[in-house]
Amino acid sequence: MKNVTFYKFDIEPENNLRLDQLISSRLPEYSRSTIKNWINAEKILVNGKICSPKDKISSKSEIEIEVHPCEDIDILSEDIPLNILHEDEDLIVVNKNSNMVTHTAVGNYSGTLQNALLFKYPELRDVPRAGIIHRLDKQTSGLLIIARTLKAHNNLTKQIQNKLITKKYITITSGILNNVTVIDQKIGRHKINRKKMSVTDSGKESTSRLKILRRFDKASLIEVDLVTGRTHQIRVHLSFIGHPVVGDKLYGFKKSIFSKNTKLVNFLDSYNGHALHAMSLEFKHPSTKEKFFIESPPPDEFLKIQSLIEKHSYADTN
């Protein structure tokens, strides 16, 4: 079974959709007929049990899928520039730009990192999700690991599941952050706005470790070490404690906090992003088994926001 990849995810009931429709919405790179064939061939289990494409779920359920090499991926390859920081026979590390979607999804079938990877590395069609083993939000920039082989994919996926990959981010938050070193709050889907996540007792365990790098007049520069990797985790956690990421309107950022900083307000009006960057990764290389570390500085837009805040800061920055 070494040439087979297994992965899991949770789905929830939505608009009375059938099982094949729900799974297809999570894996848009595969056709609906492919999903149906997998279900009929018992390659997909729901809560550990075989199922039918027409089945409907009544509560959150765990999906397990068995993916074989050379399954047809129904997405286009596109010649989109990529910033490749590392490349070897097993893996690629990409420095993703802000405003690029990681995976294809409903409403985003082109212009994604996945489209770009399949153009530059056609062999990734033989690896689940074009080798992408973790993701970054559209407006978040920074480092992503891409597995080039099934063996590397399985190894790196297990490292993520076992929390053996260290992911550190740098961000600028609204307001002055004081004496907060850990945020340990469960995260789940928002009950009303399904595009958002929220802190909820029914969510999954989520932990973020914080290190304050600088304090400004109305903002803080911090490093975040993700202990877990939930959807929108950093953004949700920082919003929960009242310090949303600068530029992150979805989770409560209001530019009025910088109303006296005209240049910054004007820049944020023109910049459709937020100040969050995945700056470093550390893991065990799947072949050499040696520690692999890589980092990248924040992009120009991030540094521009930081510079404009610094110029209007009168707080103690020690």
Cβ atoms 304, 268 nearer than 8 A: no
Give the Cα separation of 201 and 194 in Å (integer): 17
The CA distance from 263 to 210, in Å, is: 28
Q: Is 96 exposed, middle or buried (0-12, 13-18, 19+ CB in 10 A)?
A: buried
- 26/229 Cα distance (integer angstroms): 18
Give long-range contacts, CB 8 A cutoff, 24+ apart: 250-255. Answer: 250/195, 250/196, 251/196, 253/174, 254/174
Q: Would you say 166 and 151 are in contact if contact means Cβ atoms under 8 Å apart? A: no
137 carries an active-site annotation:
yes
Could you tell me which residues come within 8 angstroms of residue 116 by beta carbon, excluding any fewer than 6 positions away? Answer: 78, 79, 80, 81, 82
Phi, psi of 126 (to 5 degrees): -90, 5
Half-sphere exposure of residue 177, counting CA atoms within 13 Å on the CB side?
29
Whole-angstrom Cα distance, residue 23 to residue 39?
10
With beta carbons less than 8 A apart as the criterion, state whether 46 and 55 touch: yes
By C-alpha distance, which of 80, 3, 75, 78 is closest to 34?
Answer: 75
Cβ pair 159, 281 in contact under 8 A: no
DSSP letter for 105, please: B
Task: Name the active-site residue from 20, 90, 126, 137.
Answer: 137
Residue 254 φ then ψ, to 5°: -125, 120
Element (H, E) at 152: helix 150-161
The one-letter code for the residue type at 154 is N
Catalytic residues: 137
